Every structure is written in C-alpha cells, then in structure tokens.
A = this chain, B = another copy of it.
C-alpha cells in the first residue's frame, strides 16, 4: 500500500469523524502516511482529497523530504504544526482534528493561538485514527516483519551454535553479541534495548543487561528483536544453563502451556481480552496469577508497542493482518522467571508464526 493509498484510507475515517482534515504530529504516523522519516515534521491530510495535503519540516530535511515525499508539497518551517494550522485556516478548513493522544498540552495551547488568528479553525480531539489503520498490516509490511523476525531467529541460532550462551559471560556481553549477530543477518539495529537476564535477574520482567555473570543453573531470559526497514520484531526465549531443576522445568512448562493457549486463541473477530484470558487462566489455575504481572501482548510494526493491546482491560477485536506478540511470563522474585514470546500475524484461519525459533526448554 502506498502512502497515498493510506491517506485515502484515512479519509474514510475523517468523514466518519466529521472532520475536514487531520493534523498528524506523531512522527511514526507521518512516516506511515507520507514516507518521510525525519525527526521533525507534521502532515496535513484533508478529508476531501489530495489537494491541500501538506508536509511541513525544517531546513535540515529539505533534500530528504523532496526525495522521500514526491507526491505531497513540502513546507519548510521549523514550527511544523503551527505552520500547517495556519495553512489549513487559509485553505478554509474548519473542523481540524489533532492527535490528542500525542500532542502535548503546551503544543496544543500554541496551536490554539494560531487557530484563533485564523478565526474559523476549530481544533478537535481525534486520537488514534492512524493507529487504527496501522494495526492492520498489508503484505508488504508483513514481509518486512517476517524479515526482521528472521534476522532475530538467525542471530539466536548463531549465538547458541557459537557457544555464546555459556557460564562466565556477562549479560552485557551476550546482549552485544546478539545485537551484532542481528546486524550480520541484515538488521538495521536492535528493535529495542535487548534484555538479557540471568539467574535471579530473570525474575525482573524488564531487566537491563548488567555485568552479572552467567552461571551454571541459571535461567537466562532473552527478550530481543531486530529492526528492519522501520519494522520491529519481538521475541523472548528462556533457556537453562546446565541441567534444569524441577522448579525450573515446572515453571517453563507452565509458561509454555499458557503461551500456546494464547497463540491458539488468536483469530479474526476474537476479543483481545479473551486472548489475554486464554493464557492467563492457565497461569492462574496453577496458582501463579499474581506472578504474571503484565499484559499478554501488543501490536508490533513501525513501533515496538502499538495497537492492539492484548490485555485484560483491552477493548476491541482482532482483524486479519494484525501483527501481535504473545508473551506470558511468570516471575519468582529472587529465584528466576520465564517468559516465552512470539510475533504472529492474525490470519482468517488462525495465526501465522513469524518468529520460528523452537520453544522446547533448551538446556545449554
């Protein structure tokens, strides 16, 4: 789908929301709708057609904007959003939606001033419209996700084959090694800060790698992903160094069963909360509900966390083409934790796995 086709899809949402135009200030949404990847920009998308569409960015990006966005006129102006509100006013736009889940209170106040100068422009809260479009991926996006997932899979396979997960290495060394191997497999970089958590640290859901040394008997939790052409992969595997003890094996089997239940619950039209429940019930029934302290998963694409949220309080249903993670975890403070996570795409007949590394308990 081209950026122009995406702007066209957005127009249907603008009509439904009774907006004359949307002021897009979230840079990820600007990229999605225009192709522009710079760090300062805003985009105006009118409801009535491409005429009047404008990208604003500053002087650092004159060359880049012309190259990346051949089909929308570019305004060079440091205060991008302000310039576009003024432009919208001059073009007769009245009901101007803005991304109220992104724009700050101060930035909004600054726009109100410009809107006031233009008399008729009325700024209306319009959160999440582009996010709603982005939640459903087209095949080009899914291919990008697949490539990113493959880079992460290949890096982990390499790491294990090279004996990179061994007692004596630090969490930090393993993280750097894994990230380097993802690059060798075509990643532009890590999709987020790689989590390597060994021993008791594995009980910290979002641990940052330290100089802690991997030791025999440790659970080693690895949560990592590759960034490729703007798309993020996300996976977690937990292994044991040496022979797993009974509690480790039991914990692993529990999380693996919950993860399988969560994956199995994915489907078109399914409530997101019920996917969370499918996995959570397995853990709760085992008496470990309190130790599964986060949501089951999240959408993934141009951002590492995006719509839809798969959580107990999440609303809405799954649609074909949504890319999501399924990542239950159980964390026993002071002892260790297990999380198992895949990235998948919702398909008419269930879900397609993009992260292909096996999920049997690995004892290294």
Interface residues of A (CB under 8 A from B): 37-39, 58-64, 98, 100-109, 125, 127, 172, 176, 179-180, 183, 188-189, 193, 203-208, 293-294, 331, 333
In the complex the two chains form, what is the Cα distance from A189 to B51 in whole Å?
44
Name A189's contact: one of B59, B193, B205, B294 (CB within 8 Å): B193
The reply to whether B38 and A206 contact each other, CB–CB distance below 8 Å, is yes
Nearest-CB residue, chain B, relative to A329? B60
What are 12 A-B interface contacts by the 8 Å CB criterion?
Answer: A37-B208, A58-B293, A60-B205, A60-B293, A61-B206, A62-B293, A98-B105, A101-B105, A104-B104, A105-B125, A172-B188, A179-B189
A63 pairs with B203, CB closer than 8 A: yes
Q: Which of A38, A58, A189, A203 lies at the interface centre, i.e. has the most chain B CB atoms within 10 A of its CB?
A: A189
> Contacts A101-B106, A127-B106; is A204 near B63 (CB within 8 Å)?
yes
A96 to B183, CA, bound (A): 47
Least Cβ distance of A330 to chain B in Å? 12
Q: Is the CB of B64 within 8 A of A206?
A: yes
CB-CB under 8 A from A104, the residues of chain B are 100-105
| Bound Cα distance from A208 to B188, whole angstroms | 10
What is the oligomeric copy number? Answer: 2
A106 contact from B100, B179, B333, Cβ within 8 A? B100
Given contacts A39-B206, A61-B206, A105-B108, 6 further A-B contacts (CB under 8 A): A37-B208, A63-B331, A104-B104, A105-B125, A180-B180, A189-B193
Q: Quick one: which of B59, B172, B207 contacts A294, CB cutoff 8 A? A: B59
* A206 in contact with B100 (CB, 8 Å): no
Q: How far is the CB of A80 from chain B (nearest CB, A)?
A: 14
- Chain B: minimal CB distance from A292 (Å): 9
Residues of chain B lying within 8 A (CB to CB) of residue A193? 189
The complex places the Cα of A181 from the Cα of B280 at a distance, in Å, of: 43
Name the residue in A101, A106, A193, A331 with the highest tally of chain B Cβ atoms < 10 Å from its Cβ: A106
Q: Which residues of B contact A203 (CB under 8 A)?
A: 63
A107 to B127, CA, bound (A): 11
* A107 CA / B101 CA spacing, docked (Å): 7
Residues of B near A333 (CB, < 8 A) are 62-63
**Complex-state Cα separation, A121 to B358, whole angstroms:** 53
Question: In angstroms, how far is the closest chain B Cβ from the Cβ of A124?
Answer: 11
- Residues of B near A176 (CB, < 8 A) are 180, 183
* A63 vs B172: C-alpha distance when bound (angstroms): 20
Which partner residue on chain B sits nearest A205 by CB separation?
B60
In whole angstroms, what is the CA distance A329 to B34 when docked? 27
Which of A101, A103, A176: most chain B CB closer than 10 A? A176
Chain B residue at smallest Cβ distance from A101: B106
- In the docked arrangement, what's the CA distance between A59 and B292, Å? 9
Q: How far is the CB of A204 from chain B (nearest CB, A)?
A: 5
Give the distance to chain B from A99, nearest Cβ to Cβ, in Å: 9
A64 with B204: in contact, given A176-B183, A189-B193 (CB under 8 Å)? yes
Candidates B60, B105, B205; contact of A105 at CB < 8 Å: B105
- Which chain B positions have C-beta within 8 A of A39? 206
